[in-house]
Amino acid sequence: MTTPAIARDAPDAGSDEWTLITRTIAGDRTSARTLYDRHAKRVHRLVYRICGDEELSCDLTQDVFVRAFGQLAKFRGDAAFTTWLHRIAVTTALNQMRKVKRIRAHEEALGDDDHHAAPAREADPDLKERLSAAIDALPEGLRMTVVLHDVEGYTHGEIGEMLGVAEGTSKARLFEARAKLRVALADFA
Amino acid sequence: MTDEKLQSLMHEAKHTYRVPADPPLDAMWSRIEREHFDGVTAAPTLQANGHVNGRARRWLAPLLAIAATLAIGVGIGRFTAPAARAVAELPAARDASGPAATNGSDPLQRATSEYIDETVALLASLPRDSIATLVGGNAKFVAQASLLLATTRLLMDSPAASDPQLRDLLEDLELVLAQVARLRTTPRAEELTFIAEAMDQRDVVPRLRTVAASLSVSGY
């Protein structure tokens, strides 16, 4: 039986979580279910914020947990379990979105400013909705960064790991994303 | 827009940006448990854009093959078959020339037979009043129905539709399958009931089974 080399002092790899992970690897469904119950809503919200579709989010959340349980023995505890799990979630959701983007390339280019331009103020005067539309209008890399940092609260280091970019790149993207948002919402100054 | 104002907005976005409804955790767990612990492949699902994922392609492959065969068959039929030829008449024609001569030599009828089998299977398993157990599964019905709808329309445009009975059946199927294919977002229970009533009123499934039995008796 392979046991995960989880660092005992990892942020959320407490003894309880450690026990659940070990038992899940050993095939204990109850422990797996407990882990799922603890994290599923958060994972679901994360993938929903990436893909924006309820049904797809449920599907992706299931994919995330199937993948995570399948790879649990490889979890070394270098990061918190939550971070590790959310990294799988982001990767899974992004891969799915890229497939969708390829399939729909002839219909619209996701992340293209021209196609996702925020609606005119007259059409949608609500600032929160305008903000959401402006975030959605950002190119994918910028949108992911602003969602993960400003909305989900991840650090640039964590975002860098999730997206496979340098920490500095994440910071630069956030700067650029905010600049674009300020421009998009300029008439609300 | 000042930095402060944007920062304040982004703070609010934590609670307002793409906030999902509560997911059906128990139903979702069922698939995870099946796949991880039992090694059972998931039911096919449909993606947000209406395209099917890799798992779905496994069961969609036969349907696509049927559709492709039908398309080819219809094309060939238009050039070679008499316009009045109907699928209902094909068994007699096959009898005249012998099974060996016709089995596999008429892609249109073979595809029709497979199409009817698939349609019976789909409609017979369509839930009538609740989608509670169909997380992901409703997408399966939608995807299958979309393909079968396309196949129905191909058949309606083929020599097979010159048979009045079959044409009536195809027209009813077009209506029912179009309703199922529209269940793209979370359907209400009454939508399923409405579809079930439409099927009952037109005796769709019994008529399909009759045609399937007829084709089966004739060697397909």
Which residue, chain included where needed, has tokens 């500095």? A168
Question: From B52, which residue of chain A is nearest by alpha-carbon distance?
Answer: A100
Residue A126: predicted pLDDT: 78
- Residue type at B87 in one-letter notation: V
User: How far away is chain B from the Cα of A7, in angstroms, using its nearest Cα?
Assistant: 25
Task: Choose between B51 and A19: higher pLDDT.
Answer: A19
Q: Identify which of B1, B28, B48 has the shortest CB distance to residue A189.
A: B1
* Contact map slice: B 139-168 vs A, CB within 8 A: 139
Task: Choose between A80 and B215: higher pLDDT.
Answer: A80
Best mutation target among B2, B4, B8, B10 (most A Cβ atoms within 10 Å) is B10
Q: Identify which of A29, A51, A69 has the shortest CB distance to residue B48.
A: A51
Residue B92: predicted pLDDT: 39
Residue B194: predicted pLDDT: 73
Q: Identify which of A45, A182, A188 has the shortest CB distance to residue B20.
A: A45
Task: Choose between B216 and B144: higher pLDDT.
Answer: B144
pLDDT at position B9 over 90: no
Whether A158 and A145 have beta carbons less than 8 Å apart is answered as no
Q: Do B28 and A45 touch (CB under 8 A)?
A: no
Which of A30-34, B77-81, B145-149 has the largest mean confidence? Answer: A30-34
Residue B186: predicted pLDDT: 57
User: How far away is chain A from the Cα of B205, in angstroms, using its nearest Cα?
Assistant: 29
Task: Choose between B58 and B182: higher pLDDT.
Answer: B182
Q: Do A61 and B23 touch (CB under 8 A)?
A: yes
CB of B133 within 8 Å of a chain A CB? The answer is no
For B121-126, the CB contacts below 8 A with 24+ separation are B122/B148, B122/B180, B123/B176, B123/B199, B123/B204, B123/B205, B123/B208, B124/B205, B126/B180, B126/B192, B126/B195, B126/B196
pLDDT at position B25 over 90: yes
On chain B, the residues whose CB falls within 8 A of the CB of A128 are: 9, 12-13, 16
Residue A171: predicted pLDDT: 95
On chain B, the residues whose CB falls within 8 A of the CB of A37 are: 25
On chain A, the residues whose CB falls within 8 A of the CB of B17 are: 49, 131-132, 135, 147, 151
DSSP SS3 for B52: strand
On chain B, the residues whose CB falls within 8 A of the CB of A103 are: 49, 51
Mean predicted confidence (pLDDT) in B56-85? 52
Residue A138: predicted pLDDT: 93
Residue A3: predicted pLDDT: 39
Whether B44 and B59 have beta carbons less than 8 Å apart is answered as yes
DSSP code per residue over chain A: -------TTSTT--HHHHHHHHHHHTT-HHHHHHHHHHHHHHHHHHHHHHH--HHHHHHHHHHHHHHHHHTGGG--SSS-HHHHHHHHHHHHHHHHHHHHHHHTTTT--TT-TTTSPPPPTTT---HHHHHHHHHHHS-HHHHHHHIIIIIT---HHHHHHHHTS-HHHHHHHHHHHHHHHHHHTGGG-
Q: Do B29 and A132 touch (CB under 8 A)?
A: no
Cα–Cα dist B182/B83, whole Å:
33
Residue A167: predicted pLDDT: 92
Mean predicted confidence (pLDDT) in B36-56? 53
Q: Do B9 and A127 touch (CB under 8 A)?
A: yes
Least confident among B1-5, B35-39, B125-129, B207-211:
B125-129
Residue A21: predicted pLDDT: 92
User: How far away is chain B from the Cα of A183, in angstroms, using its nearest Cα?
Assistant: 7
Predicted confidence band of residue B218 (pLDDT cuts 50, 70, 90):
low
Please list the helix, strand and coil fractions of chain B in percent, rounded to the nearest 5, in that order: 70, 0, 30
Predicted confidence band of residue B189 (pLDDT cuts 50, 70, 90):
low
On chain B, the residues whose CB falls within 8 A of the CB of A104 are: 49
CA neighbor of B167 nearest in space, from B178, B179, B189, B152: B152
pLDDT at position B131 over 70: no
pLDDT at position B94 over 50: no
Q: Do B48 and A33 touch (CB under 8 A)?
A: no
Cα–Cα dist A184/A173, whole Å:
16
**Proportion of chain B above pLDDT 70, given as a percent:** 55
pTM of the entire structure?
0.52
Predicted confidence band of residue B116 (pLDDT cuts 50, 70, 90):
confident
On chain A, the residues whose CB falls within 8 A of the CB of B41 are: none
* Contact map slice: B 64-103 vs A, CB within 8 A: none
For chain A (189 residues), the mean pLDDT of every run of 10, in chain order, is 38 68 91 95 95 90 94 84 92 83 54 44 63 91 94 91 90 94 83
Q: Do A49 and B17 touch (CB under 8 A)?
A: yes
Residue A58: predicted pLDDT: 94
Cα separations (Å) of A173 from A91, A138, A180, B57?
18, 11, 10, 37
Residue B138: predicted pLDDT: 62
CB atoms closer than 10 angstroms to residue B206: 12
